[in-house]
Amino acid sequence: MKLKVYDKLGNPFVFLEPKDIILEFPYMGHNSLRKFLSKNQVRIIDAQQGKFEVELSDFDLKGMNDGENQSFVGTIIQGSKQYVLQFERALHVKNTDGVKSLKL
């Protein structure tokens, strides 16, 4: 899954060697978001344009809630600062005969 991050003014967020990128996805059986992925599953594609890619395995997808227009959040830890990310209605998990996939 490829994502792009913007700052409050709508400009691309510039990655300056972040210590960690943590994403929290909606998970089955949990009323709240669950910490799920960190930097070892996230690859920065274009640091100047705020683009990164998340690698999700079949196991990762299996526990996610089914459905479209789900929201998820994240945190970028860069130096001593933390930046909160909000991806509104950006996650679409399709379940076909028990096999989950992302609907893009």
Those residues whose C-beta lies under 8 Å from the C-beta of residue 16, and which sit 6 or more positions away, are 47, 78, 79
Spatial contact of 60 and 36, defined as CB atoms under 8 Å apart: yes
What CATH number does the domain containing 67 carry?
2.60.40
Domain of residue 91 covers 2-102
Count of structural domains, the chain: 1
Question: Facing residues of 43 across strands?
Answer: 53
Tokens of 72: 């998820």
How does pLDDT run across 8-61, given as a tens digit for each residue?
999 999 999 899 888 888 887 766 666 666 667 888 999 999 999 998 888 888
To the nearest 5 percent, what fractions of the chain are helix, strand and coil? 10, 60, 30
pTM of the model: 0.84
How does pLDDT run across 6-22, given as a tens digit for each residue?
999 999 999 998 998 88
CA atoms within 13 A on the CB side of 75: 14
